């Protein structure tokens, strides 16, 4: 039995959870020397709002997309060992750990993106949905892809049950 397709070749005309859009300004708040600082990064984004919420709201919850190469560079700068880096990249690609990073397998092959990448679910922002258009959509997750994304979102933002 083959694995279901992660991407939908014929997505709806509306915006869906798991839609990936071309580069926009993604704003982050960081702390540098004890002071909050706003920075802007131009990068592709993914919609992480649930599809049913998108139609009822003017704003979308989005997360930025980073390349595996950028992630490796970040870990190298932090002084991580090569075995830790290989392990972390393996966790991202297998979806069996580091659930806060959603691996976009084969996106670079399917949509002409030059490097392997992932959605960084640790970073979220809101965006007025009028600022993006369907024409800027690079890819859309399939129904199965959205289920996998929902599972990872549950691990990142859900409240695990500890007592029944």
Provide the 3-class DSSP secondary structure of residue 16.
Answer: coil
The answer to the question of residue 55 being in a domain is yes
The answer to the question of residue 13 being in a domain is no
C-beta of residue 8 within 8 angstroms of C-beta of residue 143: yes
The answer to the question of residue 29 being in a domain is yes
pTM of the model: 0.87
The answer to the question of residue 105 being in a domain is yes
40 φ/ψ angles, rounded to the nearest 5 degrees: -125, 135
Q: What number is the average pLDDT over the span 134-153?
A: 92
Q: How confident is the model at residue 162 (pLDDT cuts 50, 70, 90)?
A: low
**pLDDT at residue 28 above 90?**
no
> Number of structural domains, the chain?
1
- Domain range holding 59? 20-156
The answer to the question of residue 83 being in a domain is yes
Give the sign of the dihedral formed by CA 24, CA 29, CA 30, CA 32: positive
The kind and range of the H/E element at 31 are strand 20-32
Integer Cα distance of 127 and 146 in angstroms: 20
Q: How confident is the model at residue 155 (pLDDT cuts 50, 70, 90)?
A: confident
The answer to the question of residue 6 being in a domain is no
The answer to the question of residue 110 being in a domain is yes
The answer to the question of residue 7 being in a domain is no
The kind and range of the H/E element at 90 are helix 82-94
């Amino acid at each position: 039995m083959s694995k279901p397709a992660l991407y939908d070749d014929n997505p709806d005309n509306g915006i869906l959870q798991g839609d990936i859009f071309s580069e926009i300004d993604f704003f982050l708040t960081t702390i540098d020397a004890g002071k909050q600082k706003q920075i802007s990064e131009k990068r592709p984004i993914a919609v992480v709002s649930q599809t049913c919420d998108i139609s009822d709201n003017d704003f979308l919850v989005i997360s930025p997309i980073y390349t595996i190469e950028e992630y490796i560079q970040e870990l190298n700068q932090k002084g991580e060992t090569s075995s830790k880096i290989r392990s972390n990249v393996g966790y991202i690609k297998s979806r069996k750990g580091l659930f806060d990073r959603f691996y976009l397998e084969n996106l670079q092959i399917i949509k002409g993106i030059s490097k392997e990448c992932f959605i960084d679910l640790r970073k979220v922002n809101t965006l007025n949905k009028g600022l993006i258009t369907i024409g800027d959509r690079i890819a859309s997750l399939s129904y199965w892809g959205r289920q996998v994304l929902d599972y990872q979102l549950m691990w990142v933002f859900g409240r695990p049950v500890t007592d029944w």
